[in-house]
Amino acid sequence: MSENDSRTLWVAIIGSGPAGYYTAEGLVKNAENIRVDIVDRLPTPYGLIRGGVAPDHQSIKGVMRRYEKTSGNENVRFLGNLEVGRDVSLAELREMYDAVVIATGAPNDRRLGIPGDDKAGVVGSAAFVGWYNGHPDFADLSPDLAVKSVAVIGNGNVAVDVVRVLAKTTGEMAASDLTSYASHAIQASAIEDLWMLGRRGPVEAKFTHKELGELGELENCVALVDAGQIPDELGDIPEKAIPVKTKNLNHLRAFAENDAGDKPVRLHIAFCARPVEILGDKRVTGLRLEKTRFEDGKYLGTGKTFDIECGLIVPCIGYLSDPMEGATFDEGRGLFPNEDGKIEDRLYVVGWARRGPTGTIGTNRPDGMGVAERILAEVSPRGKACCGGLDRIASERGFRITSFDDWKKIEAAEIKAAQGVAPRAKISHIEEMLTLLDKC
């Protein structure tokens, strides 16, 4: 195929997370005369697979191999270290490419929206998880872990990840790619009590049974729950949810049997409690919660409050996308309004930027594949010679784009530097990555 062939369809995908990669896969699998450029603001690909998924869940990160295969397709390019909206505008991309797909995820923490949520010691999960995972935006966060008690707010798998990573020993994390600075900070911490708090009940909690079960197997930390909070029956729930919810309740029943003195660190799992105020002067010293009760399909406040002492609060209550100049954005929902993935003519959206922060990695597959199918059905080449447009802009503006080969060099250096059974020692500063590439 000639790069300047007027029949070539040029597609730019902004974001190299699962949604971006599945879209690219769907495009190149189903069309020959196509070129796909995947642009990412980081020099490294894979979005939350690298910067979000828990460092001790390496098998989940294995999906990177599938994306790597897509990057190996001759019609796909990765252009890292290029931020759309800062280094190049969406309008410029739309001018250069026949279609543009926004796959930028939802990188911002949803705030608690209660008095005191701006105090030092409140660290949203995007930042906290990004910190322990070596995301360059948060590598220098240095959360204060010289605290005896940490409150993690949320009853989903992200909350479970955060408490597990804080509770595991160095040995338990040996085969993970937890950053060394986070590992040192966690092991040196003074944490004795972890709280995982949710405003709804155990049946409505969103965590999955495998992840919840892992909390019962921690070497140094005992999971505790008040037996009175666990219902005898599941109630009226969709049939397909019954197996997972049954297993969740069984795990919780086992935790309710545990003794607080069993292990040095205690994990208190509490339901039907919604945060109403963060206590402390400038720094967090505690959290005030209001008990909730179930009525008319909703959890409502009861007016009865209680306080817990804590020096760090990690809300895991959802994420918002970043707006992008040139695309309509719904500030309230924190996503790009769309109709089946289409924003407007030749502009599409996939993944968390499309749906909000829901679903698993696999949910992004039909999403990306469906949008790819739609692009192939409704966008025709405009006969523009887009080839090299972005590279030209980058060189004129003095930006350093990283290629997929560059990423493989960074990855090789990380694997080489790994200690013991760890899969890699992550490089978490962009300058360090670029310096390494200069030396290669």
Q: Site for ligand FAD (CB under 6 A): which residue of 25, 37, 40, 290?
A: 40
At 112, phi and psi to the nearest 5? -65, -35
Which of positions 83-102 make contact with ligand FAD (CB under 6 A)?
A: 83-85
Question: 284 or 401, CB closer to ligand FAD?
Answer: 401
By the rule CB under 6 A, 317 interacts with ligand FAD: no
By C-alpha distance, which of 208, 299, 196 is closest to 246?
208
Query: Going by DSSP bridges, is the β-strand pair 347-349/342-344 parallel, antiparallel, or unpaired?
Result: antiparallel
Q: Which two tokens stand for residue 392?
A: 């030209």
Question: 17 or 315, CB closer to ligand FAD?
Answer: 17
Q: Site for ligand FAD (CB under 6 A): which residue of 103, 159, 369, 413?
A: 103
Question: 57 or 119, CB closer to ligand FAD?
Answer: 57
Nearest-angstrom CA–CA distance, 218 and 224? 12
Q: Which two tokens stand for residue 18?
A: 């699962």
Least distance in Å: CB of 180 to ligand FAD?
Answer: 20
Contacts of residue 24, defined as CB under 8 A and 6 or more positions apart, other chains included, come to 13, 36, 38, 70, 76, 368, 372
How far from the centroid of its chain's Cα atoms is residue 18's Cα?
11
**Amino acid code (one letter) for 322:** D
Which of positions 163-192 make contact with ligand FAD (CB under 6 A)?
A: none
By the rule CB under 6 A, 60 interacts with ligand FAD: yes
Q: Site for ligand FAD (CB under 6 A): which residue of 12, 27, 34, 42?
A: 42
Nearest-angstrom CA–CA distance, 119 and 312? 10
Segment holding 24, helix H or strand E: helix 18-30
Nearest-angstrom CA–CA distance, 186 and 180? 10
Least distance in Å: CB of 398 to ligand FAD?
Answer: 18
Question: 299 or 336, CB closer to ligand FAD?
Answer: 336
At 406, phi and psi to the nearest 5? -60, -45
Q: Do residues 283 and 120 make contact, with C-beta atoms less than 8 angstroms apart?
A: yes
Which of positions 360-399 make contact with ligand FAD (CB under 6 A)?
A: 360-361, 364
Least distance in Å: CB of 22 to ligand FAD?
Answer: 8
Q: Which stretch binds ligand FAD (CB under 6 A): 77-85, 232-240, 251-259, 411-419?
A: 77-85
Q: 336-365 mask for ligand FAD (x: CB under 6 A)?
A: ---------------xxx-----xxx--x-
Least distance in Å: CB of 4 to ligand FAD?
Answer: 26
Q: Which stretch binds ligand FAD (CB under 6 A): 80-88, 177-185, 217-225, 247-255?
A: 80-88
By the rule CB under 6 A, 320 interacts with ligand FAD: no
By the rule CB under 6 A, 39 interacts with ligand FAD: yes
By the rule CB under 6 A, 406 interacts with ligand FAD: no
Segment holding 14, helix H or strand E: strand 9-14
Q: Could you count the other beta carbons within 10 Å of the beta carbon of residue 352?
A: 29
Nearest-angstrom CA–CA distance, 298 and 425? 45
By the rule CB under 6 A, 43 interacts with ligand FAD: no
Question: 149 or 364, CB closer to ligand FAD?
Answer: 364
Q: Site for ligand FAD (CB under 6 A): which residue of 9, 11, 13, 14?
A: 14
How many residues sit close enough to ligand FAD to count as binding (CB under 6 A)?
A: 34
Nearest-angstrom CA–CA distance, 131 and 185? 11
Question: 41 or 199, CB closer to ligand FAD?
Answer: 41
By the rule CB under 6 A, 11 interacts with ligand FAD: no
Least distance in Å: CB of 135 to ligand FAD?
Answer: 9
Contacts of residue 410, defined as CB under 8 A and 6 or more positions apart, other chains included, come to 43, 44, 427, 433, 436, 437
Question: 292 or 338, CB closer to ligand FAD?
Answer: 338
Q: Is 228 exposed, middle or buried (0-12, 13-18, 19+ CB in 10 A)?
A: exposed
By the rule CB under 6 A, 154 interacts with ligand FAD: no
Nearest-angstrom CA–CA distance, 307 and 276? 10
By C-alpha distance, which of 366, 331, 327, 333 is closest to 345?
327
Binding-site ranges for ligand FAD (CB under 6 A): 14-20, 39-42, 47-48, 52-53, 57, 60, 83-85, 103-105, 129, 158, 161, 322, 351-353, 359-361, 364
